[in-house]
Chains A and B, each alone.
Chain A
Amino acid sequence: MSKIIGIDLGTTYSAIASLNDLGTPEVLEDPIQNKKTIPSVVFLKGNNNVEVGENAKRMLSTNPDLTVSEVKKRMHEEVIWSTKEGKWIEKDTGKTKVTEGEFTPAQLSSFILKKVSSIAGETKKVVVTVPALFENLARTRTEQAVKLAGLELIRLIDEPVAAALHYASLDATKGISGKIMIFDLGGGTFDVSIVDMNTTDVKDIKVITSKGDRHIGGTDFDKEICKLLNTKYKNNTGVNLFENDQFSKYLNIAEQIKRVLSVEMTASEMIDGPKGSQNIEISRDEFEKSIDKYLDQISMLLEEVLEVIKLGANDISQILLVGGSTRVPAVVKLIRDRMGKEPTKGVDVDQAVAAGAAIYAGKSSSAKDLTTNQKKNLDQIELHQVCNHYFGVFAITRDHRTGREEERNVIVIPKDTPIPCSKIEYLQTRYDNQDAVRFRITQSAILIEKGVTLVNILKDERLPLPENLPKGEPLKVLYSYDKNGKMHCTLEHEASKRKIELALEPDNSKTLEQAATEIKDFNFDDFKFDGEKEEDKSTKEKPGEEAKETKEENPKE
């Protein structure tokens, strides 16, 4: 096994892979559950005990208040999970004291990472995947999650890119040359990327562009099924199955129904509700109508991505499916209708991303850590990524047409620029003894130059300047994207050699140190692996309260 592993940290399921001695990626199986994908669900049992995975997922039905799912969807939000309230709450940015029983998305993600990485044994160096549309904040929090899990992050890579890497590494794809569409519809997010792939000689992968939506995924389909269940239950009994969108209890069943409908025309389940059990049947047709709006949004994103690269559907040579939700027949039909061709089959949609991450992990390893075969396979792969957001900065300008002074979002690095990349700009002090410069750094998925309140301001800060600077003194500003797709901004006064980096980090009510301290004593019941040491076992306390486990069968993969 290579010393760096690849982790697909998914919204609903996560997976881990590494390169075998032959240089091909292998997704590792959870030895306890005997499964290659681990549910990204955290059960907060109490008394510093945590469970992650299948058991935690079962708790969604019985203990939804203590069970957290879809953490990844919250990585960009200013929220915390409150065990007291049993839900996500808006973070109070003015808070200085941390309340017990509150967890940030980064902390919860670290639990998932810790569980997943334990399957690989002692290996601590990781490559982790993130959605292409993850912006700076979410990427930074993912980095934090990796650190909190006690792991060393080698690199973040985009999920579609990881999938493309895996695809390119297959013998079946040798000799391919052209534009490939990576259609990644997972549990929580949708990404569509276009890559230029040439596998005739060296396997060269150039990312051209990506688009995505973090409000479209398998869980959204599950929620529509929950609404259908609710309607049908009410029709039968006169009473709602649940009130006020409190449907998390039924998500597992909804997922089960969705999977059945991928292969059958109807699916039925016995649903327990306030007025007893009801056998409810849902047809594929009903399901597809309920997700119509999501399918339309996916369709629009496909149109958009082709428009951006000024190509038509005919110019795309292959469409690669990634993510479990691509099993939904309506999704495949949509692709067929819009793109005029069948998606490529033969790649495991659940494991492609983890496998690709493992390949990248191999590429990031030093030569001495690789076998000959591993080196040989990896040497043939070249990957070129791009930044997925516009990097902007606010400036005051005059519009010639309207004669009005207005704030404008000036783009310093456009989207789809190959990374790492940087741009230097020069400013001047506006008056003698100017003591600071205000920077408002923005990041946006689409080009927004006017209407600046619509743009996300990543950071609004005044950077101090050296003393006694005259008017017109030049200042150098370096804007950059690093190899992880993260943004940086540095102000330099060349004459005094003084440099200040603008910290484009999220404002947290907890510092990383606080967050790490809070969870360092947490016990992970499931975390058993070969060679577990005696002293480790002895420090684990028995949980004070056991949650009841349901006797539901595990859904099929």
Chain B
Amino acid sequence: MVPTFIIIVLIIIAFYYFGRRRNSGEAEKKLSNKINEIKKGVEEQEKNDQEKMNDFLEKNLMKTRVIKDSSEHEGVVYDLIIVQVKGYYFLEKENTPTIFALHILDKTFEDEEWHPVCSHLGDFTNGEDRVFEMKTEEALLGPKHGVEDWVDLFVIPETALLPPLKGKRNLLFEVYLCDPKSVFKGGILDSEPRDDFQYNFASINFEFEYDEVGWMDEWMGRDRVDELIMQLAYAVAAADGKVEKSEHDVVLKWAQSMLIFEKEEDYESKRDQMLSAAKKAHDLAVAGDLDIGVITSEMMEIAPKSHRYDAVELMLDVCVGDEDVKQVENEKIEQTVKLLDLDWTQYKVMREKRLADVKTVEQSEKLDENIFGIIEEMTNDEKCKELRRRYTEFKSLTMHDDANKRKQALHMIERIMVLRKKYKC
């Protein structure tokens, strides 16, 4: 009898006990579930924020792009490359001294060895070597600085770029926002530690077609270019059938002047090479074996434009070296100018400089017409106008301090008047 009562109590206690135990597990589970739920929610939230953060950074971090444009200056159209930037700089401190620096690397090479793009214009280098570099003025910037939309940061005339080789180039434009004291070597930031000097960086690829001879071509072809220049000079010297000593001296003087760029250890070998090339060119000229077409064709492949102008300048110096300008000499030079694809106006300036000092110009109507820029295709009016322009230039020379120049100028004016009479101006 008693045991039934006890059993019921026990059962009740058991129910209670085990029921409690079961409830407690669920709660934990619930709690645990809850905790998990909360965790998950937090993680998702974090993920969203990160994406938003990434999105924000993606939109607002400093970026760069390159566009092409053109501009006219003094009647000449220049093709331009404009490097633009937009975005925020996210500098840590206020009033941080900063500059923007631009370098360009050529990535076209198959071996993935990138080479810097150079420039033959001092304004676009660091002044110590020819590696391309542009920098802005120093500015004090801070965390909130940046630009909402694209702004022009660097404007570069295409003619300022000197890639390693000719042809289609894949260039990498690198824009650094950095400390003004940053040092760059070969187009790469060299300052250590990098973090202290580089605050921000952006880069962009750009395809560039380069028609001229690159700096690598130039370096490799340097000696051969010097030889070809001397061949052209002797071709002019021999044009009238004889190489005068004075003309020969002009070439040797030029060869000598090229040696000043040599390092001490290379001086003698370069000198021997130049002398040997001069002799060879002289002998070829005397034998009549110099072909302007062949020489200029090779020069177009390996000589940069500045060296091609050097060649014409030396030819002009040789032409006036014997103080007597002849029609055959003038013809050879003009042929060379055309074949070397040089600017005619620039050539005329170079020629006039020398004509002003020469003692005699061969009496030849054809030569006069060449010198004064008269071509057959011109109308009579155009010829008269061109002669008038030339008259004005020589007339100003009649007021020069140098008596020889004045005398020569008066002489040239007389020849202009003869032509004007011919064309009944």
Contact = CB atoms under 8 A, between A and B. Distances in A.
B396 A446 contact: yes
B157 interface: yes
B305 A402 contact: yes
Nearest to A79: B403
Given A292-B421, A293-B414, A400 B401 contact: no
Interface in B383-414: 388, 391-393, 395-401, 403, 405, 410, 413-414
A403 B159 contact: yes
Interface string B321-336: 0000000000000000
Interface stretch (B18-26, B92-100, B349-357): B349-357
Given A450-B349, A453-B356, A456-B401, A403 B391 contact: no
A399 B421 CA distance: 38
A297 B399 contact: no
A70 to B, nearest CB: 15
A137 B400 CA distance: 11
Contact of B120 (A304, A403, A445): A403
Contacts of A404: 306, 309-310
B121 interface: yes
A234 interface: no
Contacts of B159: 400-401, 403
Contact of A135 (B388, B397, B399): B399
Interface string A193-225: 000000000000000000001110000000000
Contacts of A35: none
A76 B401 CA distance: 8
B123 interface: yes
B306 to A, nearest CB: 4
B304 interface: yes
B151 interface: no
B181 to A, nearest CB: 16
A340 to B, nearest CB: 18
A456 B400 contact: yes
Contact of B388 (A303, A444, A452, A454): A303
A451 interface: yes
Contact of A213 (B350, B395, B400, B425): B395
A90 interface: yes
Nearest to A450: B349
A78 B400 CA distance: 11
B157 A400 contact: yes
B260 interface: no
A158 B163 CA distance: 56
B346 A401 contact: yes
B122 interface: yes
Interface string A335-352: 000000000000000000
Contacts, number: 92
A296 interface: yes
In the complex, which of the residues B123, B349, B356 has the most CB atoms of chain A within 10 Å of its own CB atom?
B349
B396 A215 contact: no
A3 to B, nearest CB: 36
Contacts of A78: 401, 403
A383 B216 CA distance: 63
Interface string A451-466: 1111011000000000
A404 B388 CA distance: 30
Contacts of A297: 391, 395, 413, 417
B399 A214 contact: yes
A296 B417 contact: yes
Nearest to A293: B417
A423 interface: no
Given A215-B398, A303-B388, A457-B401, A401 B76 contact: yes
A237 B320 CA distance: 43
A437 interface: no
Interface string A145-156: 000000000000
Interface in B274-311: 304-306, 309-310
Chain A interface bracket (under 10, 10 to 19, 20 to 34, 35 or more)? 35 or more
Given A304-B388, A444-B396, A454-B396, A398 B123 contact: yes
A502 interface: no
B129 to A, nearest CB: 16
Given A450-B349, A453-B353, A403 B121 contact: yes
In the complex, which of the residues A135, A303, A454 has the most CB atoms of chain B within 10 Å of its own CB atom?
A454
B417 A445 contact: no
B397 A454 contact: yes
Given A400-B121, A401-B76, A445 B356 contact: no
Contacts of A303: 388
B420 interface: yes
A270 interface: no
B252 interface: no
A454 B391 contact: no
Contact of A446 (B123, B393, B420): B393
Contact of B122 (A300, A398, A401): A398
Nearest to A449: B74
Contacts of B343: 401-402
Contacts of B16: none
A297 B397 CA distance: 15
A400 B353 contact: no
A402 B346 contact: yes
Nearest to B73: A400
Given A454-B352, A454-B400, A403 B393 contact: no
B160 interface: yes
A135 B398 CA distance: 12
Interface in A404-418: 404-405
A519 interface: no
A439 to B, nearest CB: 16
A377 to B, nearest CB: 37
Nearest to A398: B121
Contact of B306 (A402, A451, A452): A402
A77 B405 CA distance: 12
A400 B346 CA distance: 12
B399 A456 contact: yes
B17 interface: no
Contacts of A137: 401
Contacts of A403: 120-121, 159, 304-306
B71 to A, nearest CB: 11
A478 interface: no
B425 A296 contact: yes
A210 to B, nearest CB: 14
A493 B265 CA distance: 44
In the complex, which of the residues A133, A303, A401 has the most CB atoms of chain B within 10 Å of its own CB atom?
A401
A448 interface: yes
A293 B410 CA distance: 12
B78 interface: yes
Contacts of A446: 392-393, 396
Nearest to A448: B396
Contacts of A452: 353
A293 B422 CA distance: 12
B417 to A, nearest CB: 4
B395 A454 contact: no
A218 B350 CA distance: 36
A451 B353 contact: yes
Contact of A304 (B392, B398, B420): B392
Contact of A400 (B78, B310, B357): B78
Contacts of B123: 398
Given A293-B421, A446-B396, 7 more contacts: A292-B421, A293-B414, A404-B309, A445-B396, A451-B352, A453-B353, A453-B356
24 contacts: A78-B401, A135-B399, A215-B398, A215-B410, A293-B414, A296-B417, A297-B391, A297-B413, A300-B391, A304-B388, A304-B392, A400-B121, A400-B157, A402-B306, A402-B346, A403-B120, A403-B159, A404-B306, A453-B356, A454-B352, A454-B356, A456-B400, A456-B401, A457-B401
Interface of B: 76, 78, 120-123, 157, 159-160, 304-306, 309-310, 343, 346, 349-350, 352-353, 356-357, 388, 391-393, 395-401, 403, 405, 410, 413-414, 417, 420-421, 425
